[in-house]
């Protein structure tokens, strides 16, 4: 997967998705590329397995998402 430079990266939670917080965390992301193209999507983090599930994502994006989950108190440091 090609690396994309992400500008204005933002994350948020889908807390009313019906998924149990103890099992899975659903979150959305958005950013702009160097060409000012908007990108967004959804990440699914499986808490017990300690990993993102679903389509593969850029390592920089998932590292930033893990840092966001830790800062927000959803994952232990």
Residue 41 within a domain = yes
Residue 76 within a domain = no
Q: Model's pTM, two decimal places?
A: 0.82
CA–CA distances in Å: residue 62 to residues 18, 21: 23, 18
Residue 2 within a domain = no
Q: What pLDDT is recorded for position 21?
A: 60
Q: Which two tokens stand for residue 9?
A: 């990266």
How many folded domains does the chain comprise?
1
Average pLDDT over residues 13-40: 83
26 beta partners = 44
Phi-psi region of 73 (alpha: psi -120 to 50; beta: other; left: phi over 0): left
- Give which of 1, 56, 4 is closest to 30, Cα–Cα: 4
Mean pLDDT score across all residues of the chain: 86
Q: Cα separation of 6 and 26, whole Å?
A: 20
- Whether residue 17 has pLDDT greater than 60: no
Range of the domain at 24: 7-71
């Amino acid at each position: 997967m090609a690396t994309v430079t992400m500008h204005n990266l933002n994350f948020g939670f889908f807390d009313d998705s019906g998924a149990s917080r103890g099992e899975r965390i659903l979150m959305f992301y958005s950013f702009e590329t160097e060409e000012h193209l908007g990108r967004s999507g959804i990440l699914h983090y499986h808490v017990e397995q300690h990993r993102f599930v679903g389509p593969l994502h850029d390592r920089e994006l998932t590292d930033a998402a893990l840092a966001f989950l830790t800062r927000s108190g959803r994952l232990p440091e």
